[in-house]
Amino acid sequence: MSDTKLRDDICRFGRSLFERGLTPGSSGNISVRCEDGGWLVTPTNASLGSLDPARLSRLGADNRLVSGDAPTKEIPLHAALYETRSARAIVHLHSTHSVALSMLPEIDPRAALPPMTPYYLMKCGLTALVPYYRPGDPAVADAIRGLAGKYSSVLLANHGPVVSGDSLEAAVFAMEELEETAKLYLLLRGLNPRYLAPAQIADLAAAFKLSLPDQGHDHA
């Protein structure tokens, strides 16, 4: 896919996410791998609602800026995910319900959400929770590497979700599913809802060839 098409897609999806209130102000960032091993990423202090295709940051395979505006401060986060997963795109937002979820005391860092719906498991798998780091702190990269590429969706404590995908569309769709599932969890918190049973999870994994980490919530 050409750089021009990737630039247009980043701006189109960014605008959609912003206009639906999924990341406020100049928060959030998007990156996409290019054919030459470099990547396109949204600039620092840029609103996803008003991105300019020509001003997106173009990085080389060495993660250094080649052209465009200065990139997001979250470069270490994106780079660590690309290192550990065969992803083609990454979306990081400050979406309200996912941020709220990341602050709850009962959250299992190995599975931040229980198996609530089939589409959550199909699009997100399990979601890891990593401890709080200052935005842009290179230490977050070590935390991501510590997950050993097992998770495509991650919550940054007190900060927001980050999701990788085989395409930008897939990453955006998974991010939307994660946010909606976090919303469901908050709506149902304390009501003893019925989650998917282990046999139902196994059936989904077999039918859709899901690779789910072994650990996590154990809900019968």
Supply the residues annotated as catalytic: 119
Residues 204, 122 contacting (CB under 8 angstroms) = yes
How far apart CA 57 and CA 138 sit, in angstroms, is 19
User: Which residues are bridge partners to 65 per DSSP?
Assistant: 59
> Cβ neighbours of residue 89 under 8 Å, at least 6 residues apart?
30, 31, 32, 33, 164, 165, 166, 167, 168, 170, 171
Phi/psi of residue 202, nearest 5 degrees: -60, -40
